[in-house]
């Protein structure tokens, strides 16, 4: 087909070929209708970057939304569906290969479940090593900080197997009666658990808030000194935090010891009350048995004699 020339409106201006102008017009018409994108090249770049485009609904993506025609052709390069008219324009303007349009497959619930299981297996294989390490790490940390529940069994003397019912003031330790009388604590000052709890509580704990504020002030004063090198400042900061950690651990041990003492003396107090109630119940049972026996004896003494009274035969009326 011979090329025709298009006359510019102004003399002396450029002259363009009619076929080139037609292709430019078709290209602009397509790109202006394609979801506001800046041309097919932008759509191709968007697809290459991996961003998901809107899934086709079976209509032409280049038609007006209210007048969309059924899609008959598909451009895999741009991932757009076209009707016959726009497919011809798109092919002539971009030289892309088109193929017959086929509706996208709707995944069934079974297929979705298989894909989800497959994705989980892939994630498990890809992150298997890291996952195992992460699972093992909390276990190791918990193992190092595990503390038995405060019970009478935990406070029982491991040497004699008796309950810890007394307290050694020198060693600050809960002991049993055998340890206090015959064991290594026989020469030490022994007090009751309640007295030990009140004594430990009156001693007061570590002022962690004040210690932290003082540490911050000391570090701040060292920080502003020009004669302190980086290594010296780092060493000083580490020393201050080590001291703070020591105070925290000291307060932790003191608090847990108070918990042990309170649990121990409350348990011992409850055991004493239970013993008193048991003794009182036994006495009441004995009194009830005695009263029952006395009532039985009274019942037997008041019963009338069962032997019949003899009657005079002669005195009978004839």
Calculate the average pLDDT of the chain: 70
pLDDT, residue 303, reads 54
> What is the per-residue pLDDT for 281?
94
Look at residue 317 in the predicted model and tell me its pLDDT.
53
Longest dimension (CA), the chain: 179
- What pLDDT digit, counting tens, does each position of 55-97 carry? 667 888 888 877 788 888 888 888 888 888 888 888 888 888 8
pLDDT of residue 286: 92
**Cross-strand partners of 75:** 80, 98
Regions of the chain with pLDDT less than 70: 1-56, 104-155, 302-318
Whether the predicted model's global pTM rises above the 0.75 cut: no
pLDDT of residue 111: 54
């Amino acid at each position: 087909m011979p090329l025709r020339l298009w006359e510019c409106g102004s003399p002396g201006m450029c002259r363009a070929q009619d076929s080139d102008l037609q292709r430019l017009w078709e290209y602009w018409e397509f790109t202006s209708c394609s979801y506001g994108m800046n041309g097919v090249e932008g759509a191709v770049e968007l697809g290459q970057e991996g961003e998901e485009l809107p899934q086709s609904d079976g209509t032409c993506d280049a038609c007006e939304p209210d007048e969309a025609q059924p899609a008959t052709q598909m451009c895999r390069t741009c991932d757009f569906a076209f009707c016959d008219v726009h497919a011809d324009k798109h092919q002539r303007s971009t030289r892309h290969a088109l193929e017959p349009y086929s509706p996208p497959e709707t995944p069934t619930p079974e297929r979705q479940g298989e894909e989800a299981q497959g994705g989980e297996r892939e994630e498990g294989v890809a992150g298997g090593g890291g996952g195992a390490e992460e699972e093992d790490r909390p276990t190791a940390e918990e193992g190092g900080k595990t503390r038995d529940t405060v019970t009478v069994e935990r406070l029982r003397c491991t040497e004699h197997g008796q309950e810890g019912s007394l307290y050694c003031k020198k060693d600050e330790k809960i002991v049993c009666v055998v340890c206090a009388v015959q064991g290594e604590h026989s020469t030490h000052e022994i007090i009751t658990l309640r007295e030990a709890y009140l004594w430990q509580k009156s001693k007061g704990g570590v002022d962690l808030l004040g210690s932290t504020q003082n540490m911050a002030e000391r570090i701040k004063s060292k920080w502003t000194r020009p004669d302190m090198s980086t290594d010296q400042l780092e060493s000083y900061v580490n020393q201050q935090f080590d001291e703070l950690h020591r105070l925290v651990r000291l307060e932790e041990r003191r608090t847990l010891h108070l918990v042990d003492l309170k649990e121990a003396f409350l348990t011992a107090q409850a055991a004493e009350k239970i013993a008193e109630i048991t003794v009182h119940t036994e006495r009441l049972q004995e009194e009830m048995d005695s009263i029952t026996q006395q009532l039985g004896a009274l019942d037997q003494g008041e019963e009338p004699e069962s032997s019949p009274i003899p009657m005079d035969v002669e005195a009978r009326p004839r």
